[in-house]
Amino acid sequence: MSDPEVRPPRVAFAIGRRNGPAVRRNRARRRIRAALREVAADVAPGLHLIGWKGPIGEVDFIELKNELVDLMSRTEEHR
């Protein structure tokens, strides 16, 4: 049973048109969401904005998860 006091992180995405057509950008969002589900315990609650530059489709899923954990830990240091 989950604790009602614990709130999952809320995430917004900023993936620009330079990353390709809408199909590719939406796939990138789905990959990021899937990676975040797997590392949710390591992500602080609150609102996070994730912007991605470069070809996300070429990034390995494990590398994507590691990058997200690293990014979220750096944002914790600045709070």
Which pLDDT band, with edges at 50, 70 and 90, does 7 fall under? low
Length of the chain: 79
Which pLDDT band, with edges at 50, 70 and 90, does 3 fall under? low
Per-residue pLDDT tens digits for 20-65: 888 988 888 888 888 888 887 777 777 778 777 766 677 888 988 8
User: Alpha helix (H) ranges present in 39-60?
Assistant: none
> What pLDDT score was predicted for residue 4?
56
| E-only strand ranges, 1-78 | 10-14, 47-51
> What pLDDT score was predicted for residue 49?
81
